[in-house]
Amino acid sequence: MKKFWLLFALLIGPLLFYLLILLVDINATFLPVQNKKVISISTLEPNQEVKFKDHITILGFFGEDLLNRKTNALNLNEKIYKPYYQFKTFQMVIISPFGTQEKVNQLKKELQFTTDIKNWKFVFTEKEKINLLYKSLKTNVKLDSLAYSSEVFIIDKEGFQRGRNDDEDITDGNLYSYNAESISMIHKKMVDDIRIVLEEYRRALKKNKKEEVFKNPYKNN
């Protein structure tokens, strides 16, 4: 009996330890869902082609005075958009008030000097509807009278808001959004968090492909 338990410890013990480490690693690389009640873009504009569903979205609100707030766009473009825009499902979505179309075109011209801006999406609607969408998000920062907020949000493929629940700089640990005016915030926190979400979906896609091949090993032959 002693030999059995010794062999068990030597053979099974390391395997169990490995599985435990694997589970801890998976949990550590998952960005928590903070909010499942985000209003869809189609609620604002029913004929709008831009959508949250099946996309990993960085959502922002640059407001009526967006050219004077373009530092936000430049920060996000350099630190978030450029490294990840080639992911097919990744997009930057900016909700803008009607009447800002010309300003948006000017901003896009500046961005496209150094970047392929195909995944920068601008949605135009009434300020009342913008406020409605913003109120459906969890954040500690209010939208101002020009429909501007310094905060940007990570929205996953299900249309859920992601964020941290263990942030050391916040009393209750809940980080719902990211200050786009702060290059430090983007660099130290948002870069890591969007990478976690993208890696999560990459792993899921890889797993699904393996399962499909296992179910039908002759599919690709």
Burial zone of 132 (CB within 10 Å; 0-12 exposed, 13-18 middle, 19+ buried): middle
Rounded Cα distance between 40 and 8, Å, is 53
CA dist 203 and 199 (Å) reads: 6
Domain of residue 108: give its range: 34-210
Q: Look at residue 27 and tell me if it is in a domain.
A: no
Element (H, E) at 101: helix 101-111
pLDDT of residue 113: 87
- CA dihedral angle for residue 184, residue 63, residue 78, residue 171, rounded to 10 degrees: 30
Are the C-beta atoms of residues 77 and 185 closer than 8 Å to each other?
A: no
Q: Is the pLDDT of residue 145 over 60?
A: yes
* Residue 138, pLDDT score: 97
Q: Using alpha carbons, select from 200, 148, 150 the residue that is nearest to residue 178.
A: 150
> What's the CATH code of the domain at 49?
3.40.30.10
| 29 — pLDDT class (breaks 50, 70, 90) | confident
Chain segment 54-109, per-residue pLDDT in tens = 999 999 999 999 999 999 999 999 999 999 999 889 999 999 999 999 999 999 99
Q: Percentage of the chain surpassing pLDDT 90? A: 71
| The dihedral sign for the CA sequence 173, 178, 182, 187 | positive
Separation of alpha carbons 170 and 164, rounded Å: 10
Give the list of residues 6+ apart from residue 6 with CB closer than 8 angstroms, or none: none
Q: Given pLDDT bands bounded at 50, 70 and 90, which one contains residue 121? A: very high
In the chain, the number of structural domains is 1
Q: pLDDT band for position 2 (50/70/90)?
A: low
d(CA 38, CA 172): 22
Supply φ then ψ for residue 113, to 5 degrees. -60, -35
The answer to whether position 3 is within a domain reads no
Residue 169 lies in a domain: yes
**181 is a domain residue:** yes
Instruction: Report the chain's mean pLDDT, rounded to a whole number.
Output: 86
User: Are residues 90 and 177 in contact, defined by beta-carbon separation less than 8 angstroms?
Assistant: no
Residue 153 resides in a domain: yes
Domain annotation covers residue 24? no
DSSP symbol at 38: P
The confidence band for 124, taking pLDDT boundaries of 50, 70 and 90, is very high
In a domain, 219, yes or no: no
